[in-house]
Amino acid sequence: MRNECFMRFERLAEDGRARRGRLHFPRGTVETPAFMPVGTAATVKAMKPETVRKTGADIILGNTYHLMLRPGAERVAKLGGLHKFMNWDRPILTDSGGYQVMSLSDLRKLTEKGVEFRSHIDGSKHMLTPERSMEIQRLLGSDIVMAFDECPRADRPRDEIAASMEMSMRWAKRSREGFNAGGEHAERSALFGIQQGALDEDLRKISADKLADIGFDGYAIGGLAVGEGQEAMFATLDFAPAQLPQDRPRYLMGVGKPDDLVGAVERGVDMFDCVLPSRSGRNGQAFTWSGPMNLRNARFAEDADPLDNRCTCDTCNTYSRAYLHHLVKSQEILGAMLMTEHNIAFYQQLMQAMRDAIANGDFAHFADSFRRDYLATR
């Protein structure tokens, strides 16, 4: 097994279970806790890469499933890799495609080998295995590669969840072997394993131990944010992060709302991704320090204030709620652009505030104050 990795995780401070750190890559550093905007199909929807960077994002996420189907991993490699293709010169994490195969594709056939499925785009047949997922992510040239796994629903019977977790652990070993065979790419990128086990503490401990035995550069907490609700998610996060190696970054996949992020950092998580800020922005919802705001509401039609007086983004510095309300109601493209830019910037400002609070030993006070203001309107 490969023991060295170009990625280095530096732990700078701890406050309770919250951790302040820094990931070092050849393409730049990532300050943690970190939120990764989702650039599924080689774009963070409605934003230029330079605008994403201006919000404070250090790293973005791309997706194996979507990129393998269109434009194709081999084509991206031929054009110089994902970074060059989309004009993003900083680190990129690519999801393995496993979750999308299970949730988006038709006529799935799951076996020990992998998943045979039909594209949701044109119905064409494909086979995604741990080895092929590693190959695709290598062709894309990602800096963090995710192991290929299956993500069952949390409401499935325990024996079904256990069997799925065990297969994901066998796939994790094959992912590690496939990644290690990647030559130069394997020498300059990191591989993360994914803990499974739904809401079950014992199953997650088994999963964590098996992943640690294989050895990964970082560890993700998978199988959450799939409909179980915040209370169940936090109950799982009360034990799951501590089951993983303390000296490696911990990544909670697919999370989440701003108050989800604060609660997860409180429980020891270092990295996040979610489509929520961009998807909500395109649909007229803004996240603010005072809670979410629906700009479709008629009460904003003559409101000359910025979206959020505490936000420093270009949208808040330049445009009024009334103008954004008009753009959203008129379904103008600029509305989606400005709202998405604000939401991504707000998420980055939230992460910076959490990093500062941890460094200052004041995270508990910050978290309480944040929840008081953010949840006050509910």
Q: Could you give the CA distance from residue 155 to residue 164 in angstroms, rounded to a whole number?
A: 13
Domain assignment present for residue 377? The answer is no
> 189 and 293, same structural domain?
no
List the CATH number of the domain containing 14: 3.20.20.105
> 302 and 262, same structural domain?
no
Other beta carbons within 10 angstroms of residue 70's beta carbon come to 12
> 162 and 64, same structural domain?
yes
Q: Which amino acid is at 40?
A: T
Domain of 151, in residue numbers: 8-273
Last residue of a domain, one of 223, 241, 273: 273
Q: How would you write the pLDDT of the chain (378 residues) with one tens digit per residue?
A: 454 568 999 999 999 999 999 999 999 999 999 999 999 999 999 999 999 999 999 999 999 999 999 999 999 999 999 999 999 999 999 999 888 877 766 668 899 999 998 888 999 999 999 999 999 999 999 999 999 999 888 889 999 999 999 999 999 999 999 999 999 999 999 999 999 999 999 999 999 999 999 999 999 999 999 989 999 999 999 999 999 999 999 999 999 999 999 999 999 999 999 999 999 999 999 999 999 999 999 999 999 999 999 999 999 999 999 999 999 999 999 999 999 999 999 999 999 999 999 999 999 999 999 999 999 865
Count the domains in the chain: 2
Tell me which residues are annotated as active site: 95, 273
Q: Could you give the CA distance from residue 47 to residue 163 in angstroms, rounded to a whole number?
A: 41
> 226 and 364, same structural domain?
no
> 162 and 125, same structural domain?
yes
C-alpha pair distances (Å), 66 with each of 70, 193, 256, 280 = 6, 21, 21, 20
* DSSP secondary structure letters along 297-329: SGGGTT--S-S-TT--SHHHHH--HHHHHHHHH
